[in-house]
Amino acid sequence: MNSAGAAAAAPSWPRCDRTRAWVALQGHYEAHGRDLDLREAFARDPRRFETLSFAAPEVFVDLSKQRIDLAGLRFALDLARECGLEARRDAMLGGAVANPTEGRAVLHTALRAPSAGSGGGSDSGLFSREVHGVLDAMLAFAEQVRARAAAGELTDIVNIGIGGSDLGPAMAVGALQADQHPLLRFHFVSNVDGHDIAPLLGTAGQGRAQAGLDPRKSLFVIASKTFTTQETMTNAALARAWFVQRAPEADLGAHFVGVTTNLQAAAAFGITRTFGFWDWVGGRYSLWGAVGLPIAIAVGEAGFRAFLAGARALDEHFAHEPLERNVPVLLGLVDVWNRNFHGFTSRCVAPYHQWLARLPAYLQQLEMESNGKGVDLAGEPLPFATSPVVWGEPGTNGQHAFFQMLHQGTDVVPVEFIAVREAAHGYADSHAKLLANCLAQSQALMLGKSEAEAAAEAVPTAAKDFERARLARHRRFPGNRPCTTLVLERLTPRTLGALVALYEHRVWTAGALWNINSFDQWGVELGKALANRLLPRLESPADAAGSSGDAGGLDGSTAGLLKRLAPKT
């Protein structure tokens, strides 16, 4: 069943800036929000932390260091209601067309719903037979792969995909190292740049040979819905050619598996086992289904089902919790407040857990591809900003890279700290230092340091003849810089599933208030089309000067760069 069988599209809802609540929120910002000082806010309200901290399944969220007060949050909740947020949420979860430009329902939540008849909620029957058929087959295959690893037949899993077919699995497998099969190594190839796949294939480069993988003990997962994605199929072809040079071509089916809907193309490639997915699941939301095969191989059937269960618990919270306590909704409202009222242009994600190193990149796609839109659902240009730039790096590394700008730079950048209470290692001192740094950075962003405080301090590293008062201006921290802290008890499949689902629903909340389509991505099309037109020019025969690269009809810059980059004979 495809999206044509989904329910009709939800009715039109008002855009945020065309509501009475927006006007009221703007008035509150001008009167109380613009100049809100967090230090004064905590001094006035000793219970601010308790009032502005919230619990969702597996995730605790502290919003008390955001530059919003309880009254502002209430005005934002009024905005959500006037924009029909609850009805829009229910329509989406019920299968209405939530991606109108492509005429599709948006039902990645159905991938983690219990089977029909299990008492798992009103949406558990949506496409249940299809979803659980693929899920059961995929998990059975994952267990077979793990058994082959235990028998010494497999040592390496290589996922070849890009975008949602790479970022989600790579992030999750990296995060769940404590639960991984101990005898398997995981590799993720996405870039069409041959330097990405070359080390795995043992390609010699820069004067040194690399051993590469053993084809007899490697499994390649080729993830492309259409089996035509340029980057993925280029790398898949390289992997296939490498394999058949070193092993019987008849063995290819045992070492390549496809995650695709194009069964004919996969069969022509030599793949005999495939797992499919549906047009009502966007690429950046697809790790819950067959695209999550590397995750399932890494953590096994029980681990993957726990991953789905964590996300499902957050889905239930999002679907049923009142807006005043609905954590993804509250986060989305704060995002709108920061973007459209304070005018903050970016948000830094700083996970204080090394295994979450790929989370900022994953969230870049989730938010910027979803909400990086300039027109509303009616196609009208928006008079306000949408997605911020999302970026980050794990703590404490980021502290020695870009935190200088966060603390003393001219732009205010909200920071999102993610802390995990229990470590998977046994180094208690290291973990205590990690958490102390996490708490200290959020505290420093809020409190800052005055010139008087800086002038009163001894600074052994300062130049001896540098005037103390002038030095104090260099060492002043303005403070009052907002941040959010998210806390997990442990990093497990279940808690990771809940965390990712929390971000999904948060992104949708902001997009719904902006009245944009958070589920298409037309912005990726133009560059791809132009690349396909330029490619033959780089592959054309060499000209009289010994270079390929027909520059006719191009703009001056592209023509000049093409000539500069074209291969020489």
How do residues 413-450 score in pLDDT, each as one tens digit? Answer: 999 999 999 999 999 999 999 999 999 999 999 999 99
CA 124 to chain CA centroid, Å, is 25
pLDDT of residue 6: 45
CATH for 333: 3.40.50.10490
pLDDT digits (tens, 9 = 90+) for 100-135: 999 999 999 999 999 875 544 545 566 788 899 999
Q: Do residues 231 and 279 both lie within one domain?
A: yes
Per the domain annotation, does 277 fall within a domain? Answer: yes
528 catalytic residue (yes or no): yes
- Do 534 and 507 fall within a single domain? no
Greater model confidence, 147 or 538: 147
Predicted TM-score (pTM) of the model is: 0.95
Res 205: pLDDT: 52
Is residue 294 domain-shared with residue 427, that is, in the same domain?
Answer: no
Q: Taking a C-beta distance cutoff of 8 angstroms, is the pair 475, 497 a contact?
A: no
| pLDDT over 80 at 2, yes or no | no
Residues 536 and 487 in one domain: no
What CA–CA distance (Å, rounded) separates 127 from 181? 31
**Does residue 491 fall inside a structural domain?**
yes
Identify the bridge partners of residue 60 per DSSP, sorted by sequence position: 55, 487
Domain check: are 268 and 376 in the same one? no
Whether 28 is catalytic is no
In a domain, 97, yes or no: no
Query: Does 509 lie in the same domain as 556?
Result: no
**Distance in angstroms between the alpha carbons of the first and the last residue of the chain:** 53
pLDDT attached to residue 125 = 65
Q: Is 56 left (phi over 0), alpha (psi -120 to 50) or beta?
A: beta
Q: Are residues 292 and 153 in the same domain?
A: yes
pLDDT at 8 (0 to 100): 47
- What would the two tokens of residue 418 be? 């993610």
Model pLDDT, residue 50 = 98
195: in domain = yes
Whether 404 and 541 share a structural domain = no
Domain interval for residue 251: 128-300
- Going by DSSP bridges, is the β-strand pair 415-420/346-352 parallel, antiparallel, or unpaired? parallel
The average confidence (pLDDT) of the chain is: 93
Least confident of 36-50, 239-253, 533-547: 533-547
Q: Copy the structure tokens of residue 449.
A: 């340091």
Q: Are residues 484 and 534 in the same domain?
A: no
In a domain, 93, yes or no: no
**What is the reported pLDDT for 549?**
73
Q: Is 433 a catalytic residue?
A: no
Enumerate the β-bridge partners of residue 220. Answer: 158, 256
Structure confidence by residue, pLDDT tens digits, 130-182: 899 999 999 999 999 999 999 999 999 999 999 999 999 999 999 999 999 99
Domain end, chosen from 256, 285, 300, is at 300
d(CA 502, CA 510): 13
Of 195, 249, 400, 474, which residue is the catalytic one? 400
Higher pLDDT, 264 or 208: 264
SS3 category, 419: strand
Residue 28 included in any domain: yes
344-366: average pLDDT = 98
Instruction: Report if residue 247 sits inside a domain.
Output: yes
pLDDT digits (tens, 9 = 90+) for 44-103: 999 999 999 999 999 999 999 999 999 999 999 999 999 999 999 999 999 999 999 999
Give the per-residue pLDDT at 126: 65
Do 451 and 541 lie in one domain? The reply is: no
244 lies in the same domain as 361: no
Residue 352 has φ and ψ, to the nearest 5°, of -90, 65
Q: 202 and 335 share a domain?
A: no
Token couple for 292? 């999550």
Place of tokens 């958070």: 518
Domain end, chosen from 300, 335, 370, is at 300
The active-site residue out of 231, 367, 369, 504 is 369
| Predicted local distance difference test score (pLDDT) of residue 542 | 66
How many domains does the chain divide into? Answer: 3
Structural contact between residues 289 and 168, judged by C-beta atoms closer than 8 angstroms: no
Judge whether 433 lies within some domain: yes
- For residue 11, name the pLDDT band (cuts at 50, 70, 90): low
pLDDT, one tens digit per residue, over 515-529 is 999 999 999 999 999
Q: What is the mean pLDDT of residues 213-227?
A: 96
